[in-house]
Amino acid sequence: MPAPTPALPLSLEFFPPKTEAGALKLRQARQQLYALAPQFCSVTYGAGGSTQAGTFATVGEILAEGQDAASHFSCIGAHAAKLRAELQELRDMGVKRLVALRGDLPSGYGISSGQAEQRFQYASDLVAFVREETGAHFHIEVAAYPEMHPQAASPQKDLQAFAAKVRAGADSAITQYFFNADAYFRFVDEARALGVDVPIVPGIMPIMGASQLLRFSDACGAEVPRWIRTRLQALGDDVDGIRAFGLDAVTALCERLIAGGAPGLHFYTMNQSPLVLEVAQRLGLHPSAPAAPTMPAA
Ligand code: FAD
């Protein structure tokens, strides 16, 4: 029996596994997560094309499993000819969604000089290129940063860069993860004031462990509020305590976002199912969750 579609669209992000054991685990995780009837599942793409084969293979598996799949697609250091060939490959696979990114080159990864690279400085260049090459074929998602992209000159400049991606042809946006709902609501208000009218879906990172969360957050510029840091530090090696605290904190964040009008939730699954399933269950977005109480008529 197909899973019922939840009222709030959910999407799930995976990364391409590096080993056959990782691929097997990811297949199992996906099968469990499909109970949430995701709107789509996306697969990250290592900048410079470093994971291209694994990304496309995972996207192909998701499509073969009967789910809608989005390939992340980044342009930093890429040539137009390579991007064009990869877009054709994705079309041939039946892919209709992209998450279009500039990406980050790993340190030490050199870019040789050349006209093609100059063309792709920002994600807005990639969005424009995809539209030029493929018209309306792809639904294009772009990244948004409620707490500002770490390399941006100012929040206002970053917001303008975000608006430029939408003007170039993006259909919707997924945010970097955050734990401060006010940053998201403010970002959405400011984007609307600039005329951006596409859905801006919050990206949600389940709290899996203190060191992993702090490492990731430092790398991508997401703020872990002091109250979360101190609680995690106090919990030390208490895995159950961290799990319980993380579930409470992330569920409360999602509740606020939903109450404030978020158009969906995008989960950074880290290729694991239990925490995402538990949060969805607590939010009443899992088919086996008890039905949400109906509000008395006003
Ligand atoms: P852009 O939108 O191009 O922005 C990059 C920087 O340039 C920002 O500081 C922006 O303010 C600035 N900028 C943009 N346009 C201009 C302009 N015209 N003038 C001056 N400054 C400008 N990384 C991966 O490698 N693979 C992935 O699969 C991946 N998936 C992601 C998914 C999501 C939802 C998110 C939020 C991030 C993801 N990332 C991924 C990380 C992302 O690649 C990095 O954050 C990267 O540094 C920026 O990519 P972007 O597409 O946001 O770039």
Pocket of ligand 1 (CB under 6 A): 44-47, 72, 74, 99, 101-104, 122-124, 143, 149, 151-152, 157-158, 161, 164-165, 174, 176, 203
The residue ranking higher by pLDDT, 9 or 294, is: 9
Q: Which of 14, 9, 2 is nearest to 51 (CA)?
A: 14
Of the pLDDT bands very low, low, confident and very high (cuts 50, 70, 90), residue 118 is confident
Ligand 1 center from residue 101 Cα (angstroms) = 6
* Cα 73 to Cα 91: distance, rounded to the nearest angstrom: 13
Q: Answer whether residue 114 shows pLDDT above 70.
A: no
Which of 56, 102, 121 has the most ligand 1 atoms within 8 A of CB, as the residue to mutate?
102
Contact indicator for 100, 45 with CB cutoff of 8 Å: no
Ligand 1: which atom is nearest the Cα of residue 177?
Answer: 36
Which of 12, 101, 200 has the most ligand 1 atoms within 8 A of CB, as the residue to mutate?
101
Looking at residues 79-90, what average pLDDT do you find?
96
Ligand 1 center from residue 124 Cα (angstroms) = 9
Of the pLDDT bands very low, low, confident and very high (cuts 50, 70, 90), residue 298 is very low
Ligand 1: which atom is nearest the Cα of residue 157?
Answer: 11
Q: Which of 51, 192, 147, 252 is nearest to 71 (CA)?
A: 51
10-105+119-283 CATH choice from 3.40.1080.10, 3.20.20.80, 3.40.630.30, 3.20.20.220: 3.20.20.220
Residues 204-239 pLDDT 10s:
999 999 998 999 898 898 999 999 999 999 999 999
Ligand 1 center from residue 143 Cα (angstroms) = 6
Residues 152-206 pLDDT 10s:
999 999 999 999 999 999 999 999 999 999 999 999 999 999 999 999 999 999 9
Q: Answer whether residue 140 shows pLDDT above 70.
A: yes
Ligand 1 center from residue 237 Cα (angstroms) = 34
Please give the distance of CA 157 from its chain centroid, rounded to a whole number: 22
Looking at residues 266-290, what average pLDDT do you find?
93
> Using CA positions, which residue lies closest to atom 19 of ligand 1?
161
Which of 122, 162, 165 has the most ligand 1 atoms within 8 A of CB, as the residue to mutate?
122
- 13 catalytically annotated: yes
Contact indicator for 129, 83 with CB cutoff of 8 Å: yes
Contact indicator for 192, 182 with CB cutoff of 8 Å: no
